[in-house]
A and B are shown apart, each in its own frame.
Chain A
């Protein structure tokens, strides 16, 4: 049964092959287990995180995001490349193990892969190895010649990662060549001996290598075979043990990261998963201050990041030069983990992170827009980590002065502006408005079935009050029996929570929950996506909540909302609209089509899409407390956004969020685009155009002063 040569009987350096290979197997596997077990050390020391629920949903996500590589094609070229490599690896896995075992047990075949099936599998994997090899070459050329910007490492984040990336590509390429040469030399040897030889897939790498070595002397072929085997084995185990030291660790961890990924959008993790709210007061410390304050899943995230840079490339904070790039948040945390939980030596942990690993400005710079999480192929989470780090800073009193006043005002007055409570409903008291629309205050004397939750900015900001009035007019026109909480409403606390002030958020939430319950309403409508997200995800036990755009779309489809032609045709024939997706309506709540459907039901309205739209929308600059924060940045997000709208050929931006309105309105002025660009809220546009018998003629006195419009 054994030919002239036999792998396991070859004697190299006086060691029989079988023993040598077996020793290498044991050594390789032992090293890998040791390294991985060291990598796992911080996980049980970290905070709890219940991710063991809903196994079917989680398996579904594994199929979609891991096996299906769902996010990868968002970057067409790199995504395709990765898909090919991933598919190659999956196909080659069994082949690689077979090869490893063959050194010890020559005629071994994977169960189910003997005979015909085995031959077909071998043919497929011949091509797989070829494709992976070619992909390595292409990837190396990309890294070395084309250098996509997202791989660059700014000086403040340390040295570039190109050398490491190319080294890994090289190792994989060597693995593919060794595997192919092993198959090629074995087949060539059998041919020369006149034995039944393995058929290699035409034009594959093994096939070409067989062509090349086929006519060599038998001894050389034999030597190549053993050499290829050794190189394959050593490279395989070196890669296996080297991966946990860098970005390639995702090969092992991604499956777990994706299985345990966060299932709910728009939500935030509680302060501690294992501490109920009523016992929070007993906690000595809040949030993440040291590495071990992260949850085990968040540490797993650090290991899983593949350093592809998609998060940072889509991060608006990074784009405007704020000192934050999600990618480096992870890279720095991973470096910390590797340094303080070394493979050799004792763990040296519990050092404060802020001021050493992360800077304060870095952590305050995030607008929680979610662009990074939307993009990440490995579903790495960022917002929960940022908020946890902020909770830690709040707990240490480490809060920028610019944020302290609004936080204090939220505590004493329920709004960040320090305005008095009884004026919260004043937006509904302008004489013109009161004549046409009555807004009930649900204070016990009045009842309604729909609550319009206005929130602070729309209640108090002179410009945004127009959104409140437009919303009220629309609800009234639609015949909704609605009211507001008036002075009893406090800030939804959405940004209070996302800025890490959990206790203040809880106070605001409890107050509002009580007021909403007391009002007896059955549903809630809001025109503020931040309030929408808070009521939907951060509050419990409140009636179902909808954003006004969802109501508008439904009523338009039902025929209850009809529109006049867009603008005054003669005056505004050149007006081209584009819709800007607010982060907390779009990405966090997946409301993309409703606002667009409403716009498209206005006859003659000309609408274009920005390149960055829907789930790739670009944050306007952030809402709530972010308006008070003074970031270190080179330019404003809003200015970039306004330029994107202009590039798309639009001269009017429609948004559906008062904070987007503030930021974009300011940005138009800063960019010097007054007269060339205008901005309007969806409710204001609908209010202008809805066909409404009995409504006062508003076309003469549009109160919505669109900037430059």
Chain B
């Protein structure tokens, strides 16, 4: 099966101290380190595992500037067969619909039976997967935490609030948004990345894909960021003052009250 994974490069929240810039419309990006969005990495791992079971190829695509190559190399080192970087200055400032439009153009250039995205980007709004499916007129399942493929039928499950699971059957081709925890992504070391250093990565521009430009770019964006701020800290924490045993009992009560224990 030909599988496409849409991945994105994001500032790694565990390795950065995120601060607002002076204009207050974005974060300070000077000293950030980036990595592949965590949920996207799970999606790549899932794609690789499906490929290893049923055969085929895994392609990873990202829409980014030149720096996007960094995460594509990492996914190639994980085992992806192909990687593509979609880069065009005109894409800058696109909203979710714009991104989905670009991806749609990319998908239509290939023959993908299964398209995976991460459930959402660390700094994203979890829109693209659903929009992409709608634009392609493909079925869509979100928050997927297991995939089984039997007799050409795909069964996907998702977790329901409260810990229950729901199983759905879905027709191919389809788009799935993958939840973290669906698998245990393999480790990619420096050696792996160095070994794919010379693997060519296709770079495609808007004209290569025939993107419908009426939906992309800042001018076309119908959702625009107007502010970016750190919320004032509220009263979120309750400090327990008591002996170890009292505190333990109290914690148990609180967890039970919130439905964490049955």
Chain A residues close to B by CB (< 8 Å)? 280-281, 286, 394-399, 401, 403-405, 407-409, 411-413, 418-422, 501-504, 507
Contact = CB atoms under 8 A, between A and B. Distances in A.
A488 to B, nearest CB: 15
Given A397-B186, A401-B184, A420-B31, A413 B191 contact: no
A503 B194 CA distance: 10
B160 interface: no
29 contacts: A281-B191, A281-B194, A281-B195, A286-B191, A395-B189, A396-B186, A397-B78, A397-B189, A398-B186, A398-B187, A399-B186, A401-B184, A403-B187, A404-B185, A404-B187, A408-B15, A408-B35, A409-B15, A412-B15, A412-B33, A413-B33, A418-B12, A418-B14, A418-B15, A418-B16, A501-B189, A503-B191, A503-B194, A504-B190
A504 B14 CA distance: 19
B188 interface: yes
Given A281-B195, A401-B184, A408-B35, A420 B16 contact: yes
Contacts of A396: 186
B65 interface: no
A394 B17 contact: no
Given A397-B78, A397-B189, A420-B16, 14 more contacts: A281-B191, A281-B195, A286-B191, A396-B186, A397-B192, A409-B14, A411-B190, A418-B14, A418-B15, A418-B16, A419-B17, A422-B31, A501-B190, A504-B190
Nearest to B15: A418
A397 B75 CA distance: 12
Contacts of A409: 14-15
A430 to B, nearest CB: 19
Nearest to A403: B187
Contacts of B14: 405, 409, 418
B15 A413 contact: yes
Most chain A CB atoms below 10 A, which of B16, B17, B33: B33
A602 to B, nearest CB: 35
B12 A507 contact: no
Most chain A CB atoms below 10 A, which of B16, B17, B186, B190: B190
Most chain A CB atoms below 10 A, which of B31, B188, B194: B188
Nearest to B190: A503
Contacts of A501: 189-190
Contacts, number: 61
Contacts of B188: 397
B187 A407 contact: yes
Contacts of B187: 394, 397-399, 403-404, 407
A700 B12 CA distance: 43
Contacts of A407: 187, 189
Interface of B: 12, 14-17, 31, 33, 35, 78, 184-192, 194-195
B76 to A, nearest CB: 13
A507 to B, nearest CB: 6
* SS of B interface (majority): loop
Nearest to A674: B244
A554 B78 CA distance: 51
A507 B190 contact: yes
A503 B17 CA distance: 27
Nearest to B188: A397
Nearest to A396: B186
Contacts of A422: 31
B196 to A, nearest CB: 11
A412 B15 CA distance: 8
| A-B interface, 6 closest residue pairs, ranked by CB to CB distance from nearest | A397-B186, A418-B15, A399-B187, A503-B190, A412-B33, A503-B191
A286 B194 CA distance: 14
Nearest to A401: B184
Nearest to B191: A503
A503 B193 CA distance: 10
A672 B41 CA distance: 41
Contacts of A398: 186-187
A425 to B, nearest CB: 15
Contacts of A419: 17
B168 to A, nearest CB: 27
A502 B194 CA distance: 13
B35 A394 contact: no
Contacts of B15: 408-409, 412-413, 418
Contacts of B186: 396-399
A407 B189 CA distance: 8
A412 B190 contact: no
A286 B187 CA distance: 14
Contacts of A413: 15, 33
B226 to A, nearest CB: 29
Nearest to B38: A405
B243 to A, nearest CB: 12
Nearest to A399: B187
Most chain A CB atoms below 10 A, which of B15, B31, B184, B192: B15
Nearest to B186: A397
A421 B32 CA distance: 11
A462 to B, nearest CB: 15
A670 to B, nearest CB: 12
Nearest to B33: A412
Contact of A503 (B12, B184, B189): B189
A398 B15 CA distance: 22
A285 to B, nearest CB: 10
A287 to B, nearest CB: 10
A420 B189 contact: no
B222 to A, nearest CB: 35
Contacts of B12: 408, 412, 418
A507 B193 CA distance: 13
A84 B31 CA distance: 68
B79 to A, nearest CB: 8
A502 B16 CA distance: 25
Most chain B CB atoms below 10 A, which of A280, A281, A411, A421: A411
Nearest to B35: A408
Contacts of B78: 397
Contacts of A420: 16-17, 31
Nearest to B184: A401
Contacts of A401: 184-185
Contacts of A507: 190
Contacts of A418: 12, 14-16
Nearest to B192: A397
B28 to A, nearest CB: 11
Given A281-B194, A281-B195, A394 B189 contact: yes
Nearest to B74: A408
A419 B15 CA distance: 6
B185 to A, nearest CB: 8
A423 to B, nearest CB: 8
A502 B184 CA distance: 22
Most chain B CB atoms below 10 A, which of A281, A396, A404, A421: A404
Contacts of B33: 412-413
Contacts of A411: 190
B145 to A, nearest CB: 16
Nearest to B181: A401
Nearest to A422: B31
B191 to A, nearest CB: 4
Most chain B CB atoms below 10 A, which of A394, A397, A401: A397
A399 B190 CA distance: 14
A403 B185 CA distance: 12
B108 to A, nearest CB: 32
Contacts of A395: 189, 191-192
A330 B69 CA distance: 44
A293 to B, nearest CB: 16
Contacts of A397: 78, 186-189, 192
A120 B17 CA distance: 82
Contacts of A280: 191
A401 B182 CA distance: 13
A281 B190 CA distance: 10
Contacts of B184: 401
A420 to B, nearest CB: 6
A507 B194 CA distance: 12
